[in-house]
Each structure stands twice: as structure tokens, then as C-alpha cells.
């Protein structure tokens, strides 16, 4: 009789978990927002790095792209790390 009771409680717990999983399943809107967020955390550091580098290169005398390229590549690395940490959690 005790085995029957433990089996019944295990099944009830599994049913509750299944219902909760069905209720918490991501829908199309939440997935779209998640993909958009991934895009933003990747692109914004790249754009910010390119803009800041261009501004710094404009402050220097002569034609230079040193800051633009350096900060653009830094923005790519930061964007990749942002996406990694967002997906990891």
C-alpha cells in the first residue's frame, strides 16, 4: 500500500511539472524579443566603438584611422562577449 502511495505522489508531481512546462513555453513574441535583444547587444558596442574612434581620429591632425579600427574591433569583441553572457544565463 505504501508503494502505491509513493507512486501516486510521484505521478502527481510529474503531472504538475508537465503542466508548468506547457504554461511556461516561450511563444513567438518572446522569442522575437529575445532575438532582437541579442542583435542589439551585439551591434551597439560595434557602432559605439566606430563612432568614438571616428571622433577621436577627427581630433588628430592628418588622415588617420587608427582609433576607428581599434575601437571597432574592440566593439566586436565586446559585442561577442555580451551575446555569450546573455545566452549563457
Instruction: Please write the tens of the pLDDT for every residue from 68-78.
Output: 999 999 999 99
Rounded CA-CA distance 47/24 in Å is 35
Rounded CA-CA distance 74/78 in Å is 6
Instruction: Please write the tens of the pLDDT for every residue from 13-50.
Output: 999 998 887 777 778 888 888 899 999 999 999 999 99
Domain boundaries defined on the chain: 2-88
For the chain, the first-to-last Cα distance in angstroms comes to 44
Q: How large is the average pLDDT for residues 55-71?
A: 90
Q: pTM for this structure?
A: 0.68
pLDDT at 31: 84
Amino acid at each position: 500500500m505504501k508503494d502505491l502511495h509513493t507512486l501516486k505522489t510521484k505521478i502527481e508531481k510529474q503531472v504538475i511539472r508537465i503542466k508548468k512546462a506547457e504554461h511556461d513555453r516561450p511563444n513567438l513574441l518572446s522569442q522575437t524579443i529575445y532575438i532582437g535583444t541579442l542583435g542589439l547587444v551585439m551591434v551597439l558596442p560595434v557602432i559605439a566603438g566606430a563612432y568614438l574612434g571616428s571622433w577621436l581620429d577627427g581630433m588628430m591632425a592628418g588622415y588617420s584611422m587608427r582609433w576607428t579600427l581599434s575601437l571597432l574591433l574592440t566593439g566586436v569583441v565586446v559585442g561577442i562577449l555580451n551575446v555569450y553572457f546573455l545566452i549563457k544565463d
